[in-house]
Amino acid sequence: MKRSCGILLPVSALPSPYGIGTLGKEAYEFVDFLHEARQSWWQMLPVGPTSYGDSPYQSFSAYAGNPYFVDLETLRADGLLTKAELEAVDWGTDPEMVDYGKIYENRFRLLEKATERGWKRDAEQVKAFTEESAGWLPDYALFMALKRRFGMQSWTEWEDEDIRLRRPEAVERYRRELAEDIRLFTYIQYLFFKQWNALRDYAHEKGIGIIGDLPIYVAMDSADVWADPDSFQLDDRNVPVEVSGVPPDYFSENGQLWGNPLYDWDAMKKDGYTWWVRRIEGASHLYDVLRIDHFRGLESYWAVPYGETTAKIGRWVKGPGMDLVNVLTARFPNLRFIAEDLGYLTPEVHQLLKDSGLPGMKILEFAFDSREPSNYLPHTSLPNCVCSAGTHDNSPIMAWREEAAPEDIALAVRYLGLNEEEGFNWGMIRGGMSSVADLFVVQMQDYLGLGAKSRMNTPGILGGNWQWRMKQGRIDQALTEKIAETARIYGRSERAWQA
């Protein structure tokens, strides 16, 4: 990867008059801003359909796009919705916060209208899209139709055991009974990918590549697990024996109980990790670079007994390691990977990263622990890494300044020469920009100098996450030029991505 820089902003956080960021006009304007600011990369969070809790890391599908991101103005311009229909909906009153309750209640009603008007009109295009997506779309559309039938309960709680266990006769029966809803979820995906592909093409024309986040696990309540239970560690009733998480760490004294089903790595290895090859193939249609979330879980993973309420109790189990990495890098030579190697790292994890040759991550907010020397300090970086001030799981820089231990802030001030004239956030950004790391990524909140209310996620805390949105007009020409000049000064302004 060439020396370059990028900005992290979730699609959900884009400005929009309809309650949540979308793939519409504001997304194109953000691409224009990235181009003018001499950035090479737009880093996003996962863009799949979210479930209870609204986390992009707990999706109903590893392949599908989030219905919330389908741009409604684009549908209006295409004759699928009317202006009056859009204006009749209450999307919430806070332009800097997503009201997921209102989005859930209202978005699908409009998408149903769009489907009614567009299904026959777009029949040929939808048919072609369905054929291209045959490996995942039929299962996903049926799964979502079934969730509607069973009151949006998790599939593990569906009262019809035949369809819960996916017996063939039940699958065929429900495909007939739920044909209308299957059409709805099929058409929504057609709309999403039509809009996504147009936006991605536009970004490429502007010299902007897209970095996507690939959660290492998939959600238990997903079409992926329901349709392919043999790839996971489930009992004969399709109930997990152990689930995913991480032990107590910097983020949480109870650890993080994610609750995802664990992979049956032995079974996957026997067929050459076909499940993973399909998954990466799907992601390659969305992103130009894949950040593999929780990369350390490929070396060994934390297995928590099913039913535990925290992740304190668990055990380390060996993962597939280089077996899987070699398969993926060989199968996808033109797709670049980033290893999110944060968390509890052992010598074995360090060795896996070294053997893989993938760039790891350096987080500046972790660098200034005054109690012990840190390998996150800029002078310890190597070129083959990605440096960030903080991730979506960290406080924005200005909030970190208030929350971190005073001695840690004092160390950051001494190390980076931080001062009020430059601005605390800009001094931190300078520290990352000037490092030898090939890629430096900044959260948009940090360029805007925002505080704790703009934090995307607090790990281990349920509720109140994934809600922040950037207010319309926050990016002006002065900020754009300042970011561009910073990139130029530190040799990161040359375009690093080309189609």
Mean pLDDT by 10 residues, the chain (499 residues): 96 96 98 98 98 92 98 98 96 94 95 98 98 98 98 96 97 98 98 98 97 96 97 94 88 85 96 97 97 95 95 95 97 95 88 96 93 85 94 97 96 96 98 96 98 93 91 97 98 79
- Residue 318's Cβ-count burial label (10 Å; 0-12, 13-18, 19+) is exposed
The two three-digit tokens of residue 378, written as one number:
């800029």
Residue 162 resides in a domain: no
Q: Token digits for 291? A: 């950040």
Considering 122, 340, 365, 438, which one is annotated as catalytic?
A: 340
Distance CA 228, CA 261 (A): 12
Output the pLDDT for position 53.
Answer: 87
For residue 499, is it within any domain? no
Instruction: Give strand pairing partners of 6.
Output: 41, 441
Range of 311's domain?
4-114+196-489
The CATH number covering residue 100 comes to 3.20.20.80
Confirm whether 189 is domain-assigned.
no
Catalytic status, residue 131: no
In a domain, 259, yes or no: yes
Residue 333 falls inside a structural domain = yes
- Mapping DSSP to helix (H, G, I), strand (E, B) and coil, where does residue 382 land? coil
**Tally of domains within the chain:** 1
Q: What is the pLDDT of residue 369?
A: 87
- Give me the pLDDT at residue 140, please: 98
Active-site annotation holder among 96, 116, 228, 393? 393
Element counts in the chain: helices (H) and strands (E)? 19, 12
| Non-local CB neighbours of 392 within 8 Å, separated by 6+ positions | 8, 10, 45, 443, 456, 457
Q: What is the pLDDT of residue 480?
A: 98
Using CA atoms, how far apart are residues 419 and 292, in angstroms rounded to an integer? 35
For residue 171, is it within any domain?
Answer: no
Q: What is the pLDDT of residue 499?
A: 55
294 Cβ neighbours under 8 A, 6+ residues apart: 215, 216, 217, 246, 340, 343
Residue 137 inside a domain? The answer is no
The dihedral of CA 459, 154, 21, 295: what is its sign? positive
Q: Which residues contact 215 (CB under 8 A, 6 or more apart)?
A: 46, 57, 59, 293, 294
Asked if residue 97 is part of any domain, the answer here is yes
Cα–Cα nearest to 64, from 48, 80, 79, 75: 48
pLDDT for 250:
67
Supply the DSSP symbol for 290. E
Alpha carbon 150 to chain centroid distance? 27
Whether pTM > 0.85 for this model: the answer is yes
> Of residues 293, 299, 408, 438, which has the active-site annotation?
293
Cα(349)–Cα(319) distance, rounded to whole angstroms?
A: 11
Q: Is 32 a catalytic residue?
A: no
Query: For residues 412 and 428, is the Cβ–Cβ distance under 8 A?
Result: yes
Residue 498: predicted pLDDT: 67
Active site residue 340: yes
**Which residues 6+ apart lie within 8 Å of 44 measured at CB?**
8, 9, 10, 11, 210, 211, 212, 213, 287
d(CA 361, CA 293) in angstroms, rounded, equals 11
